[in-house]
A and B are shown apart, each in its own frame.
Chain A
Amino acid sequence: MSTIEYLWLVPFLPLLGALLLIVVGRSMSKAAIAWIGAGSVVLSALVVIVIGIGFLSSPGVYEISVWQWFVVGNLNPSIELHLDALSLIFIFVITFVGFLIHVYSVEFMREDSGYARFFACLNLFVCSMLLLVLAGNLVLLYLGWEGVGLCSYLLIGFWYEDPKNGYAARKAFIITRVGDTAMLIGLFLLFSTFSTLDIETILSAAPTEWEQGSSIATLAALLLLGGAVGKSAQLPLQNWLPDAMAGPTPVSALIHAATMVTAGVYLIARMYVVFELSPVAMTTVGVVGAVTLLIAGFSAITQTDLKRVLAYSTISQIGYMFLALGVGAWSAAIFHFFTHAFFKALLFLCAGVIIEALHHEHDIFRMGGLRKQLPFVFVAFFAGAASLAALPLVTSGFYSKDMILWYAWAGEKGNGLLYAAGLVGALVTALYTARLVIVTFFGSARTPVSKKPGWHMTLPLGVLAVLSITTGFLEVPHNFWHGQLISGFLSDVLPATTIQPGSEAYEWLLQLVAVMATLVGVFIGYYIYMATPGLHEIVKMKMAPLHGLMQAGWGFDALYDLLFVRPVTWMARANRGDIIDGIYTGIAWVTMAANRAFAMTQNGVMRWYVLGIVVGALLIITLGIFV
């Protein structure tokens, strides 16, 4: 146990930072806020490293129970942390990338009046995210799951005066809530089957409780998938992420690129046993990933806002992770999460520097020529972009994407169509990345640079640039040499992917095809955006309807607006006065009207009374005769 007993410190330190900043943050100096905000995550990252060293010397599964949350009947979730290889990789990325982004934010947010609020939310986010991946039971996982949603909401809408930001924030929170609710129902289903929500227990009991392919296992897996697609911005709940770019850029880097949006990948990997029991669910995961990576990739080509390009790219890259999960390439998905966290965080942080330097200019077509003006940022961005485009051999993205493509083809659950989607996606990725780099950094400068970044911002860029290149060597293809550290490390937690017999021979060939896809993509980008000036305008005009559709994210916003938002708001508006209340008002009205009517008969006029008596008497007589 030794150092691992201190695991609780990992989420606790950021929580403490958040609490301090919430309670006394407003009266603190900016320096103090920065020290607490960034310091708590730095300390947390250090604890993770110490624990990681301890873990490497004696790997295994560690459970640290902090307290019993509640016990009702069979349901007894506790606040317990569960450390194994999978959660260790996640907490390492969360705290390490988190720490770099906090350092970056110290400078990025310095002029902002909500400095303490920003760091409080960011710290709270780190804490929730850590709880999510360390949770030993699904109720605690759900706590982290909703906690990151809250922080995402608060940080997207950080600049709350602008209603657009608030809209984006609510959209993110509500759309992910739709997925979360599916997941919650999944939890009920799991609980009614297993009488517990402890993850380990469920994973070990599932294969005996459910037979392979049972419909209830499929239902459970699909409900969990519902939560995963919401959080990870996958089809059909992907459309909140591009709007989420309204938040400050460090937030986009940490929450909407490196960590929170990969929570769905974590969830599926963590609950892999349930998914493996259901071929239908596995296929669904793979198809969701494949379709998402394509549609988001195509959308990325058409965006002009720097951050939106990256946002669609994130959706697309997470699509790759889902594709990997869907073919049972568990460690490939985690590996791609690992490399993606570094290079995408890097790209976002570079974007933040660029946007700051150009007076909050987001449009890449008003940038240009930044290669000369921001040379360091160019180098860093290039490292990230190369990794995203998967330039062969020297970038981490190449190795992780290649691993996914390989298993999509050769894995036992692999499938030619899924592979083809991944391959086309690789080409598209290379294309939009080349476009992004060329339009932003080459050509003539269209906006002058007004501000150069300080060391708080360049240091994280440097570190992440190095990592974007080097982390790929942790796991190289089998046919290169023996260096599969990630899948080796994960082998205790996630099963290895079995390969269709006889496919090993094709590995070289497939790698070559993948490289070709990347190069062709880069070349198309080069040809359209650099070699032939004005060509991209022509292409855009020729394909205007398709371009418009892709730019609008394939119209999902409009569709959901029509299907859900309008009907609900219409109903709420139409029934604002509460129709049921109308019934009671009606009863009251009838009563009062009757009262008025009868009161009118008591008018003091003798002949009316006589008439009343006569009519009444006649009536009685008539009744007496005829009835």
Chain B
Amino acid sequence: MTLIAFIGTLMAGGIVAWITARWSETLSRWIALTTVLIDLVWSVVILINNRPDFSATDWLIRFDYPWIGRFGIGISVAADGLSLILLILTFFLGAASVIVSWREIRQRVGFFHFNLLWVLAGIAGVFVVMDLFLFYFFWEVMLIPMYFLIGIWGHENRRYAAMKFFIFTQASGLMMLLSILGLYFIHGNNTGTYTFDYFELLTATFGDTAGRWLMLGFLAAFIVKLPVVPFHSWLPDAHSQAPTAGSVILAGLLLKTGAYGILRFVLPLFPDAAREFSNVAMILGVVGIIYGALLAYGQTDLKRLVAYTSVSHMGFVMLGIFSFNELAFQGVVMQLVAHGLSTGALFVIAGALYERIHTRDLSLMGGFWSGTPFMGFITLVFVMASLGLPGLVNFVAEFLILNGAWQTSHVLAVIGAIGLVLAMAYSLRIMRKIFFGPVADIGVGMRDLTLCEKVVLVPMTLLVIFLGLFPQHVFNASEKSVKDILAMVNSNNKP
């Protein structure tokens, strides 16, 4: 029930926040914040209670309830270490999003928070549901409020960006729906039980061709979301046009649902097809690393630059997932957390700068360190995280992914490692353009970070350092999930 309560709290909180905004916008903000914080504290408590041994049970929390028995749809939710980590990340970045919107969002405050909390509910749902029908439902729940967040509160080109986001996600989501139905009917025909239940469908058997097509349907939705080059082109527009909270959630969380989907559904449901596809997938990952980095280096819009770094960083995820070993898998889990924190923080900083100087154009910035050293320092930490400096969490992730990839393919690991050099180039460019060089006119008299911004950024900074030095807290939680998935990849669908 706990997991349903997580989602229910967010949905209810969203409605309440929407209604109360009629009387007081501040109250609406506080309700939204409290709701997310309740979930955050709650999920952290669950994590702490399950320490240090996460492998005692198959699932830390599981709840099944038959809902529409006739069609084999059940309310089935479950969380293992992997889900729990991602849930905590969701609530953490969710709380950050509410706080950064405190000053930024002035219009339709209630509806904004409704959408924000419903996106979070959708994401939380995706991370826990174990029924494919519900999974598709939550997949859509993420999409529509996010469409509004971009389309209503976004920047100058928001309509275009929102529409692009919608079309890409919806089109690929429909392919997943086809695959879900295909799986449902094939399994039903074979066994006589028509069900959307994940655990039941894990035992499904089908031929190679069917498996390939079904997998591609799922994969379409996930690699568009991740995103994998060449399906990434919705991302720079959506990220750069969204309001700060939207960018944080998009980069920090929505992209993770793609990775989670591959780990949780594609690999276990279609191990044969996934193994067959692994070479192509790893190449796509490496292409993403390099292509995203090159594009990031060329950008002049700060948010677009950060958006393309996401493409590059998610290339590592793709490379790691299809390397099929424990090192790479744990690296992927860590990369999801690391990227959520570091890119989320960079978007918060971009938002803070935009609020002060009303531009995202890097060529207008420069020399801000002298006026805003605190912001400079925080940015430095996240820029270093983004280029994979050891001691920060991203290094652990990328080191493990590349090390794992090396065991599978030397060449691809080497090309991926070249991405680290490019990462250095685009990351240092952020520092140079914003904080170093002669002081730009636009930044004269700019104030340093406000309390609100510090409340968000300081914990993120500390987490990035803490997890860089003590990553084992995450690895302990995800170890069993990762090993289970690995075992399933090595099984097969053959009858």
Contact = CB atoms under 8 A, between A and B. Distances in A.
B30 interface: no
B396 interface: yes
A71 B297 contact: no
Contacts of B437: 160-161, 163, 166
Give the interface SS of chain A, mostly helix, strand, loop or mixed: helix
Size bracket of the B interface: 35 or more
A480 to B, nearest CB: 45
Interface string A110-135: 00000001000000000000000000
A110 B196 CA distance: 71
Interface residues of A, number: 50
Interface in B418-456: 418, 420-422, 424-425, 428, 432, 435-439
Interface stretch (B10-18, B114-122, B147-155, B398-406): B398-406
Contact of B327 (A75, A170, A576): A75
A528 interface: no
Contacts of A188: 402-403, 406, 413
A174 B421 CA distance: 7
A578 interface: yes
Contacts of B300: 576
Contacts of B391: 143, 146-147
Contacts of A166: 432, 436-437
Contacts of A569: 297
B469 to A, nearest CB: 7
B421 A177 contact: yes
Contacts of A67: 470
Given A166-B437, A170-B432, A185-B417, A192 B406 contact: yes
A443 B411 CA distance: 60
A572 B369 contact: no
A191 B395 CA distance: 17
B84 interface: no
B75 interface: no
Contact of B472 (A70, A177, A571, A573): A70
A174 B428 contact: yes
A189 B438 CA distance: 44
Contacts of A146: 389-391, 395
A160 B436 contact: yes
Contacts of B400: 72, 75
Given A72-B327, A161-B439, A578 B233 contact: yes
A142 B390 contact: yes
B298 interface: yes
B326 A177 contact: no
Contacts of A157: 436
Contacts of A174: 421, 424-425, 428
7 contacts: A69-B471, A73-B326, A142-B390, A143-B395, A147-B390, A578-B236, A580-B230
Interface of A: 22, 26, 67-73, 75, 79, 117, 139, 142-143, 145-147, 150, 153, 157, 160-161, 163, 166, 170, 173-174, 177-178, 181, 184-185, 187-189, 191-192, 568-569, 571-573, 575-576, 578, 580-581, 583-584
The 9 closest A-B pairs by CB, nearest first: A572-B298, A143-B390, A188-B406, A581-B233, A160-B436, A576-B298, A572-B297, A73-B326, A72-B330
Given A163-B436, A576-B298, 17 more contacts: A22-B377, A68-B472, A69-B469, A69-B471, A71-B472, A79-B469, A139-B390, A161-B370, A161-B438, A173-B428, A185-B417, A191-B406, A568-B294, A572-B295, A575-B294, A580-B233, A581-B236
